[in-house]
Chain A
Amino acid sequence: DFQMTQSPASLSASLEEIVTITCQASQNIGNWLAWYQQKPGKSPQLLIYGTTSLADGVPSRFSGSRSGTQYSLKINRLQVEDIGIYYCQQASSSPWTFGGGTKLELK
Chain B
Amino acid sequence: EVQLAETGGGLVQPGNSLKLSCATSGFTFSTAWMSWIRQTPGKRLEWLAQIEDKSNNYFISYLESVKGRFTISRDDSKSSVYLQMNNLKEEDTAIYYCTRIIRDKGYYFDYWGQGVMVTVSS
A residues in contact (CB < 8 Å) with B: 31-34, 36, 43-46, 49-51, 53, 55, 85, 87, 89, 91-92, 94-98, 100-101
Q: How far is the CB of B29 from chain A (nearest CB, A)?
A: 19
Given contacts A50-B104, A92-B106, A100-B44, 13 further A-B contacts (CB under 8 A): A32-B106, A34-B108, A44-B109, A46-B110, A49-B102, A49-B105, A49-B106, A50-B106, A55-B110, A85-B43, A89-B109, A91-B106, A96-B47
**Is the CB–CB distance between A43 and B108 below 8 Å?**
no
List 27 contacting pairs A-B, 8 Å CB cutoff, sorted by A.
Answer: A32-B105, A34-B106, A34-B109, A36-B109, A43-B112, A43-B113, A44-B39, A44-B97, A44-B112, A45-B112, A49-B102, A49-B106, A50-B105, A87-B45, A89-B45, A89-B108, A89-B109, A92-B106, A94-B61, A95-B47, A95-B64, A96-B107, A98-B45, A98-B47, A100-B44, A101-B43, A101-B45
* 77-122 of chain B: CB within 8 A of chain A: 97, 102, 104-110, 112-115
B77 to chain A, nearest CB (A): 26
Complex Cα gap A96–B62 (Å): 10
Contact with A along B30-72 (1 / 0, CB 8 A): 0000000001000111110000000000000101100000000
Residue of B nearest to A99 (CB): B45
Chain A to chain B: the 5 pairs with minimum beta-carbon distance, closest first: A91-B106, A50-B105, A32-B106, A43-B112, A98-B45
- How far, in whole Å, are A85 and B39 apart by their CA atoms in the complex? 12
When C-beta atoms are compared, the residue in chain A nearest to B63 turns out to be A95
Instruction: Give CA–CA (A46, B35) in the complex, Å.
Output: 14
Interface core residue of A45, A87, A92, A98 (most chain B CB under 10 Å): A98
Measured between beta carbons, the chain B residues less than 8 angstroms from A36 are 45, 109
